[in-house]
Protein backbone atom coordinates (compact mmCIF):
# COMPACT_ATOMS: atom_id res chain seq x y z
CA UNK A 1 0.00 0.00 0.00
CA UNK A 2 1.28 3.45 -0.85
CA UNK A 3 1.75 5.90 1.94
CA UNK A 4 -0.41 9.02 2.03
CA UNK A 5 1.37 12.36 2.31
CA UNK A 6 1.05 14.09 5.65
CA UNK A 7 -1.02 17.21 5.83
CA UNK A 8 0.10 19.49 8.60
CA UNK A 9 -1.77 22.72 7.88
CA UNK A 10 1.29 24.84 7.20
CA UNK A 11 0.96 26.73 3.98
CA UNK A 12 3.89 27.60 1.84
CA UNK A 13 3.48 30.67 -0.22
CA UNK A 14 5.46 31.94 -3.11
CA UNK A 15 7.37 35.13 -2.54
CA UNK A 16 5.37 38.05 -3.89
CA UNK A 17 6.45 39.29 -7.26
CA UNK A 18 6.17 42.96 -7.82
CA UNK A 19 6.01 44.42 -11.25
CA UNK A 20 6.21 48.14 -11.39
CA UNK A 21 4.33 49.99 -14.07
CA UNK A 22 7.43 52.07 -14.64
CA UNK A 23 9.44 48.88 -15.34
CA UNK A 24 7.37 48.06 -18.41
CA UNK A 25 6.68 51.35 -20.18
CA UNK A 26 4.68 51.40 -23.37
CA UNK A 27 6.72 53.47 -25.82
CA UNK A 28 3.59 54.40 -27.81
CA UNK A 29 1.70 55.73 -24.80
CA UNK A 30 1.92 59.43 -24.00
CA UNK A 31 0.70 58.80 -20.46
CA UNK A 32 3.20 56.19 -19.21
CA UNK A 33 4.86 57.03 -15.90
CA UNK A 34 8.27 57.42 -17.48
CA UNK A 35 6.89 59.99 -19.94
CA UNK A 36 5.01 62.09 -17.36
CA UNK A 37 8.23 63.69 -16.15
CA UNK A 38 9.09 64.68 -19.72
CA UNK A 39 5.57 65.93 -20.48
CA UNK A 40 5.60 69.02 -22.63
CA UNK A 41 2.26 70.71 -23.25
CA UNK A 42 3.24 71.88 -26.72
CA UNK A 43 4.33 68.38 -27.75
CA UNK A 44 1.14 66.88 -26.32
CA UNK A 45 -0.97 69.43 -28.21
CA UNK A 46 0.93 68.71 -31.44
CA UNK A 47 0.47 64.94 -31.05
CA UNK A 48 -3.24 65.30 -30.32
CA UNK A 49 -3.65 67.71 -33.22
CA UNK A 50 -2.01 65.18 -35.56
CA UNK A 51 -4.21 62.35 -34.26
CA UNK A 52 -7.43 64.28 -34.92
CA UNK A 53 -9.41 62.69 -37.73
CA UNK A 54 -11.14 64.81 -40.39
CA UNK A 55 -14.58 66.00 -39.36
CA UNK A 56 -16.05 64.84 -42.68
CA UNK A 57 -14.98 61.31 -41.77
CA UNK A 58 -16.34 61.75 -38.24
CA UNK A 59 -19.78 62.88 -39.48
CA UNK A 60 -19.97 60.71 -42.64
CA UNK A 61 -23.65 59.64 -42.71
CA UNK A 62 -22.90 56.63 -44.93
CA UNK A 63 -20.83 55.07 -42.13
CA UNK A 64 -23.68 55.02 -39.58
CA UNK A 65 -25.26 51.58 -39.34
CA UNK A 66 -26.41 49.56 -36.34
CA UNK A 67 -24.06 46.77 -35.22
CA UNK A 68 -25.03 43.20 -36.11
CA UNK A 69 -24.84 41.95 -32.50
CA UNK A 70 -23.71 42.97 -29.02
CA UNK A 71 -20.16 41.67 -29.42
CA UNK A 72 -19.71 43.56 -32.71
CA UNK A 73 -21.13 46.67 -31.04
CA UNK A 74 -18.70 46.43 -28.13
CA UNK A 75 -15.78 45.91 -30.53
CA UNK A 76 -16.94 48.87 -32.60
CA UNK A 77 -17.24 51.14 -29.54
CA UNK A 78 -13.72 50.31 -28.36
CA UNK A 79 -12.22 50.73 -31.83
CA UNK A 80 -13.98 54.04 -32.46
CA UNK A 81 -13.05 55.48 -29.06
CA UNK A 82 -9.42 54.70 -29.79
CA UNK A 83 -9.61 55.95 -33.39
CA UNK A 84 -11.61 59.17 -32.76
CA UNK A 85 -10.12 59.93 -29.32
CA UNK A 86 -9.17 63.54 -30.07
CA UNK A 87 -12.44 64.23 -31.87
CA UNK A 88 -14.37 62.99 -28.84
CA UNK A 89 -12.30 65.27 -26.61
CA UNK A 90 -13.28 68.23 -28.82
CA UNK A 91 -16.95 67.18 -28.50
CA UNK A 92 -16.50 67.17 -24.70
CA UNK A 93 -14.99 70.69 -24.81
CA UNK A 94 -17.82 71.99 -27.03
CA UNK A 95 -20.47 70.56 -24.66
CA UNK A 96 -18.62 72.11 -21.71
CA UNK A 97 -18.55 75.53 -23.36
CA UNK A 98 -22.25 75.22 -24.24
CA UNK A 99 -23.13 74.37 -20.63
CA UNK A 100 -21.16 77.29 -19.20
CA UNK A 101 -22.53 79.80 -21.73
CA UNK A 102 -26.15 78.73 -21.18
CA UNK A 103 -25.80 79.07 -17.39
CA UNK A 104 -25.15 82.80 -16.88
CA UNK A 105 -24.58 82.62 -13.11
CA UNK A 106 -21.99 79.87 -13.54
CA UNK A 107 -20.32 81.90 -16.27
CA UNK A 108 -20.25 84.95 -13.98
CA UNK A 109 -18.66 83.00 -11.07
CA UNK A 110 -16.07 81.40 -13.38
CA UNK A 111 -15.17 84.82 -14.79
CA UNK A 112 -14.86 86.21 -11.24
CA UNK A 113 -12.62 83.28 -10.31
CA UNK A 114 -10.44 83.87 -13.37
CA UNK A 115 -10.26 87.58 -12.47
CA UNK A 116 -9.17 86.65 -8.94
CA UNK A 117 -6.40 84.42 -10.29
CA UNK A 118 -5.33 87.21 -12.64
CA UNK A 119 -5.20 89.73 -9.78
CA UNK A 120 -3.04 87.36 -7.72
CA UNK A 121 -0.68 87.02 -10.67
CA UNK A 122 -0.67 90.78 -11.28
CA UNK A 123 0.03 91.65 -7.62
CA UNK A 124 2.92 89.18 -7.40
CA UNK A 125 4.71 90.44 -10.51
CA UNK A 126 6.03 93.49 -8.69
CA UNK A 127 6.44 92.07 -5.19
CA UNK A 128 5.01 89.28 -3.09
CA UNK A 129 1.92 90.06 -1.02
CA UNK A 130 2.54 90.47 2.70
CA UNK A 131 -0.05 90.54 5.49
CA UNK A 132 0.97 91.75 8.97
CA UNK A 133 4.61 91.69 7.92
CA UNK A 134 4.48 88.08 6.77
CA UNK A 135 4.85 87.19 3.09
CA UNK A 136 2.19 84.87 1.68
CA UNK A 137 3.36 82.41 -1.01
CA UNK A 138 1.68 82.63 -4.41
CA UNK A 139 0.32 79.07 -4.16
CA UNK A 140 -1.52 79.97 -0.96
CA UNK A 141 -2.97 83.07 -2.60
CA UNK A 142 -4.33 80.97 -5.46
CA UNK A 143 -5.71 78.51 -2.91
CA UNK A 144 -7.45 81.36 -1.05
CA UNK A 145 -9.14 82.56 -4.26
CA UNK A 146 -10.27 79.01 -5.05
CA UNK A 147 -11.60 78.51 -1.51
CA UNK A 148 -13.56 81.77 -1.72
CA UNK A 149 -15.10 80.69 -5.04
CA UNK A 150 -16.05 77.12 -4.05
CA UNK A 151 -19.18 78.16 -2.06
CA UNK A 152 -20.24 80.38 -4.95
CA UNK A 153 -19.76 77.52 -7.42
CA UNK A 154 -21.86 75.26 -5.22
CA UNK A 155 -24.62 77.90 -4.97
CA UNK A 156 -24.84 78.40 -8.74
CA UNK A 157 -25.01 74.66 -9.44
CA UNK A 158 -21.56 73.80 -10.72
CA UNK A 159 -22.02 70.22 -9.51
CA UNK A 160 -25.10 69.68 -11.63
CA UNK A 161 -23.36 71.32 -14.58
CA UNK A 162 -20.42 68.92 -14.24
CA UNK A 163 -22.75 65.92 -14.16
CA UNK A 164 -24.70 67.28 -17.14
CA UNK A 165 -21.47 67.69 -19.11
CA UNK A 166 -20.30 64.18 -18.22
CA UNK A 167 -23.69 62.61 -18.95
CA UNK A 168 -24.20 64.40 -22.25
CA UNK A 169 -20.63 63.66 -23.36
CA UNK A 170 -20.83 59.96 -22.52
CA UNK A 171 -24.22 59.68 -24.25
CA UNK A 172 -23.11 61.43 -27.46
CA UNK A 173 -19.73 59.66 -27.61
CA UNK A 174 -21.10 56.16 -26.96
CA UNK A 175 -23.93 56.71 -29.45
CA UNK A 176 -21.50 57.83 -32.15
CA UNK A 177 -19.00 55.08 -31.38
CA UNK A 178 -21.72 52.41 -31.44
CA UNK A 179 -23.24 53.35 -34.78
CA UNK A 180 -20.18 54.56 -36.72
CA UNK A 181 -18.83 51.62 -38.71
CA UNK A 182 -15.16 50.83 -38.44
CA UNK A 183 -13.28 50.13 -41.64
CA UNK A 184 -12.91 46.35 -41.18
CA UNK A 185 -16.39 45.86 -39.72
CA UNK A 186 -18.12 45.03 -43.01
CA UNK A 187 -15.50 42.56 -44.20
CA UNK A 188 -15.42 40.58 -40.96
CA UNK A 189 -19.19 40.69 -40.46
CA UNK A 190 -19.96 39.19 -43.89
CA UNK A 191 -17.21 36.59 -43.99
CA UNK A 192 -17.29 35.33 -40.43
CA UNK A 193 -20.19 34.55 -38.19
CA UNK A 194 -19.50 34.63 -34.47
CA UNK A 195 -20.39 31.55 -32.48
pLDDT tens for the 195 residues of the chain, in order? 566 666 666 656 555 555 444 444 445 555 555 555 566 778 878 888 888 899 999 998 899 999 999 999 999 999 999 999 999 999 999 999 999 999 999 999 999 999 999 999 888 888 777 778 888 888 888 999 999 999 999 999 898 999 999 999 999 999 999 999 987 655 444 444 555
**Predicted pLDDT at 162:** 92
Q: Which of 103, 114, 108, 51 is nearest to 82 (CA)?
A: 51
**Predicted pLDDT at 38:** 63
Q: Which residues pair with 131 in a beta bridge?
A: 134
Domain for residue 24, yes or no? no
Q: Which residues pair with 135 in a beta bridge?
A: 130
Domain for residue 130, yes or no? yes
Distance CA 91, CA 84 (A): 11
Domain for residue 10, yes or no? no
**Predicted pLDDT at 161:** 93
Distance CA 173, CA 4 (A): 62
State which residues form the domain around 69. 55-182
**Predicted pLDDT at 189:** 47
**Predicted pLDDT at 127:** 79
Domain for residue 133, yes or no? yes
Residue 64's SS3 state is: strand
At residue 176's C-alpha, the angle toward residues 171 and 71, to 5°, is: 95
Domain for residue 129, yes or no? yes
Domain for residue 166, yes or no? yes
Q: Which of 86, 102, 103, 101 is nearest to 173 (CA)?
A: 86
Tell whether the torsion through CA atoms of 29, 32, 37 and 39 is positive or negative.
Answer: positive
pTM value?
0.65
The DSSP secondary-structure symbol of 131 reads E
Please say whether the beta carbons of 89 and 83 come within 8 A.
no
Domain for residue 173, yes or no? yes
Domain for residue 124, yes or no? yes
Residue 68's SS3 state is: coil
**Predicted pLDDT at 9:** 62
**Predicted pLDDT at 134:** 84
Distance CA 88, CA 177 (A): 10
Number of domains in the chain: 1
Amino acid sequence: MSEMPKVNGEMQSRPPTTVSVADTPNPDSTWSLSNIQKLNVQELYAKQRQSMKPWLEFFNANQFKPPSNVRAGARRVLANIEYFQTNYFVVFIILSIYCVITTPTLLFVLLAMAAGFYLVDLKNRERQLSVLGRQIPVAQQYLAVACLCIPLLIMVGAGSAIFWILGASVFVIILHALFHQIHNDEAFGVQMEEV
